[in-house]
Chain A
């Protein structure tokens, strides 16, 4: 398995609290992504990064922010959690060298906002 880990794996939090999810890789891949997976919606891109301190928004970025201060870590922060952010969150990594490499996915973080 590619070296990609997410933490925590499960979290229950209250509405209005900030939450930070961490994605850590040991593959030295340039690209990192955060997705949320919801029934009927598939995988929707929240934010992605194409290098240290280089990030961009995905299709469902409202209410989320990210940071990437070093190659191996990509943090996703829910600034003020809402029940609509209850979901399974996946981090992925990939690279580009005359073509895209396979994207490797973390095991997911199940977040429940109560």
Chain B
């Protein structure tokens, strides 16, 4: 069974400090991993995916298959980063479900 674990429900970080949101997964095969973000009163939206290796809004995430992790990082937190962050997983071929973790609420302290 596929599973996504986000161990931190809440995370508070001072503005300008580094941010790391943890995500671990379980999947028997090659997964596709994503980070989605939900800002207050907005729809859930894609932040980044591991296959594109992009940096979006200063966030990066590296897939570590040995540790089955996909942690989200940003070197300097900004107030506008306050939001709910979800890690998600799917298989890398069709007919697969998209599974989300329980989410981490990130609060940036001014």
Contacts and interface: CB of A to CB of B under 8 A. Distances in A.
Interface of A: 1, 30-31, 33, 35, 40-45, 48, 50, 56, 58-59, 90, 92, 94, 96, 99-100, 102-108
**Interface range, B side:** 20 to 34
Interface string B78-110: 000000001010101111011111110000000
Interface residue SS majority, chain B: loop
A43 B100 CA distance: 6
15 contacts: A43-B86, A43-B100, A50-B94, A50-B95, A59-B99, A90-B44, A96-B93, A100-B32, A100-B90, A102-B49, A103-B34, A103-B46, A103-B88, A104-B43, A108-B43
Contacts of B6: 42
Contacts, number: 61
A41 B97 contact: no
A31 B6 CA distance: 25
Residue of B9, B92, B97 with most chain A CB atoms under a 10 A cut-off:
B97
Interface of B: 6, 9, 32, 34, 36, 43-46, 49, 51, 86, 88, 90, 92-95, 97-103
A56 B46 contact: no
Given A33-B97, A48-B98, A42 B90 contact: no
A96 B94 contact: yes
Nearest to A51: B95
A33 B102 contact: no
Contacts of B9: 40
